[in-house]
Amino acid sequence: MEEASPTVAVTTPPKTGAFKEWASDQKAFKGVPWGKAMMWIFLVSDTFVFSIFLISYMTVRFSTKVEWPNPSEVFALHVGHVSVPLLLIAIMTFILITSSGTMALAVKYGYEKNRKMCAILMLATAIFGASFVGMQAFEWTKLIMEGVRPWENPFGAPQFGSIFFMVTGFHGTHVTIGVIFLFIMARKAWRGDFDTGRRGYFTSQKSHYEAVEIMGLYWHFVDLVWVFIFAFFYLW
């Protein structure tokens, strides 16, 4: 009768140095949802892009020898026979900040599993965002009709048009993309896709409103970027 071979216990040596640091990083990020982590990475990278745009704007403005346009004159809105400085911009800013509040409430009601309130508030956020984009299109049309182009500007420095259209257009694209996704997710929340686990984008997990929170992160970022654009282009 053959004797059973003794079981040899294999012990993993403790990690030291760089290996220990790497293991601790893995443990720290192991509980982070994949979608939320990817959104944070995207927002950090997008922060660098907008920062480069704003730094370029400051560099151009300080280096040009031609007088920079006065925002109170360029962005004035005529109401009757009165020219009101920055009226349209103030309305746009108020709308976008309000939409940040409705989005925060949508996330709150989402985690409370109140799908109807979550859907209504996301729909309201999308309408606010669409209104902002519409007003920005009106602003662009007004400037173009007044002769502002990427290569020329009747109000002063010719570089104003190119950098203004580039930065505000890039931000407006972000808002437009957010509005599209908000409409889609509001419809899904209203139908109860997050509760039933219906297959589709953002709804693969049953009773999981994490996608609403991820959408909220994106929207708050868009609002925060506008605060800096407002300060740099319209107040300075």
Domain CATH for 68: 1.20.120.80
**226 within a domain of the structure (yes/no):** yes
Report d(CA 217, CA 211) in Å as an integer. Answer: 10
**4 within a domain of the structure (yes/no):** no
Question: How many distinct structural domains can be found in the chain?
Answer: 1
**Cα dist. 162→85, 148, 174, 229, 234 in Å?**
22, 9, 19, 15, 15
**155 within a domain of the structure (yes/no):** yes
Task: Please report the sign of the dihedral spanned by the C-alpha atoms of residue 188, residue 194, residue 199, residue 203.
Answer: positive
Of residues 171, 207, 205, 173, the one with CA closest to residue 192: 207
Residue-wise pLDDT tens digits, 21-61: 444 444 555 666 777 888 999 999 999 999 999 999 999 88
**22 within a domain of the structure (yes/no):** no
pLDDT at 22: 44
**Predicted TM-score (pTM) of this structure:** 0.82
CA 204 to chain centre: 24
pLDDT at residue 1 tops 80:
no
**180 within a domain of the structure (yes/no):** yes
Token readout for 228 is 């800096």
Least confident of 29-43, 115-129, 150-164, 215-229: 29-43
**83 within a domain of the structure (yes/no):** yes
Residue-wise pLDDT tens digits, 101-120: 999 999 999 988 898 999 99
pLDDT at 19: 47
Report d(CA 42, CA 193) in Å as an integer. Answer: 26
Residue-wise pLDDT tens digits, 161-200: 889 999 999 999 999 999 999 999 999 889 888 877 666 6
Structural domain span for residue 97: 32-235
**149 within a domain of the structure (yes/no):** yes
pLDDT at 125: 97
**76 within a domain of the structure (yes/no):** yes
